[in-house]
């Protein structure tokens, strides 16, 4: 059965999620997290994609990107392959690191853009990993 085509975004913004295969942890330590950020920093600009917001959870990541040229599929494939190769070499893991294709949701309005940024940044608190205090 063929895959459904990716959705288009009238704004160029997308909320992206990548999950560890079978819920496996993607990051063993800060070194892994830094490596993912370096991979994103190296690959996304090559595809004219700007990273707006991000959150690296233990077994998944959230990204909010600006993708005006609709190149997210190639970019996320390159990110996943690059990180999986590094992860497998470092840990001795064999096989898929990421579960299926990345999930994406087109951001269709400024209100949804702000909601997605808030959701991404508050994800660690929602999971009980961090506390957020609104002092404003």
pLDDT of residue 95: 84
pLDDT of residue 22: 84
Give the CA distances from residue 11 to residues 14, 70, 110, 131, in Å, rounded to whole numbers and listed in that order.
Answer: 9, 11, 9, 31
Q: Are 93 and 22 in contact (CB under 8 A)?
A: no
The first and second tokens of residue 30, run together, are: 């800060």
Write down the domain spans for the chain.
13-126
pLDDT tens sequence for the chain (136 residues): 666 767 788 899 999 999 999 888 899 899 999 999 999 999 999 999 999 999 999 899 999 999 999 999 999 999 999 999 999 998 888 889 988 889 999 999 999 999 999 999 888 666 555 555 665 5
Question: Which SS3 state, helix, strand or coil, does residue 42 take?
Answer: helix
Q: Using CB atoms within 10 A of its CB, is residue 64 exposed (0-12), middle (13-18) or buried (19+)?
A: buried
Distance in angstroms (rounded) separating the CA atoms of residues 136 and 116: 20
The CATH classification of domain 13-126, taken from the options 3.50.50.60, 3.30.300.20, 3.40.1360.10, 3.30.70.1290 = 3.30.70.1290
């Amino acid at each position: 059965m063929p895959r459904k085509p990716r959705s288009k975004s009238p704004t160029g913004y997308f909320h992206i999620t990548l999950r560890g295969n079978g819920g496996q942890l993607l990051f063993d330590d800060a070194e892994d997290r830094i490596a993912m950020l370096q991979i994103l920093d190296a690959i996304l600009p090559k595809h004219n994609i700007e990273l707006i917001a991000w959150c690296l959870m233990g077994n998944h990541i959230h990204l909010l990107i600006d993708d005006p040229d609709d190149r997210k599929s190639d970019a996320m494939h390159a990110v996943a392959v690059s990180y999986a190769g590094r992860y497998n070499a470092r840990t001795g893991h064999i096989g898929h690191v990421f579960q299926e294709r990345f999930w994406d949701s087109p951001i269709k309005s400024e209100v949804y853009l702000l909601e997605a940024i808030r959701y991404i940044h508050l994800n660690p608190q929602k999971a009980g990993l961090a506390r957020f205090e609104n002092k404003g």
